[in-house]
Amino acid sequence: MTDPELPHRRPFLAALDVHYFATHAQAACVVASAWGDAAPLAEYAAIYEGPADYEPGSFFKRELPPLLAVLGQLPELPPILVIDGYVWLDEARPGLGYHLQQAFPQHPSVVGVAKTSFAGNRVAVPVLRGSTRPLFVTAVGLEVEVAAEHVRDMAGQYRLPALLRRADQLAKGRG
C-alpha cells in the first residue's frame, strides 16, 4: 500500500502500463480513489516471462497478458481502467483497451490515453495537458468526450497525468 492510512478508501480507477525488457515484461498498476488524485492508494507490479513479439495492429496480443497478470493481484477490480494505449484503433477496429474490457465479466470502463496518433483514427479525442502535443483519448464503457474531460483534469503538471506517469515509472522498475 502506498499509504497505510488509506486502505478503507475504495479504488475507483486503476492506471496501467507495461514495459519490455530483453526476456520479460513488467506490468504496473496504480489505483486511486478519484480522477484528480495525485498519488495512488496502492501500487502493484507483475513480471511476465516471454511476452509475445510486437505485431502491428494487434498490440493487444503482446500487452494484454501482462496487464491481466498485474490486475490479478488487485483485491477488487476498479470500475475504471486507464491504459497507455488505444481502446479503438478506428470506428470498427478494437484496440488493447477494448480487449482488456472484454477480458472481465463485469466489463469495466476502459479509457485509453495514447501519446501518438494512430493513422486513420477518427474516434480519438485530442487532449492538451502541459504541452502543445496532444494526448489521444479513446474509451469504452463511457462517452469518449467525458473520458477526455477526465483525462484533461487529472492531476499532474505534465502532458501525461501523474497516475499514468507513476505506472510508467513502476513498469520500468523505478520504484
Q: What is the pLDDT of residues 90-122, one digit of tens each?
A: 888 999 999 999 999 999 999 999 999 988 788
Q: Supply 42's cell numbers.
A: 496502492
Which runs of consecutive H residues, i.e. helices, occur in the chain?
A: 60-71, 96-102, 144-153, 162-171
- Cβ contacts of 119 within 8 Å, gap of 6 or more: none
Phi-psi group of 74: left, alpha or beta (phi > 0 → left; psi -120 to 50 → alpha; rest → beta): beta
User: What is the pTM (predicted TM-score) of this model?
Assistant: 0.91
pLDDT confidence band for 65 (50 / 70 / 90): very high
Could you give all domains of the chain from N- to C-terminal order, each with its CATH number? 13-171 (3.30.2170.10)
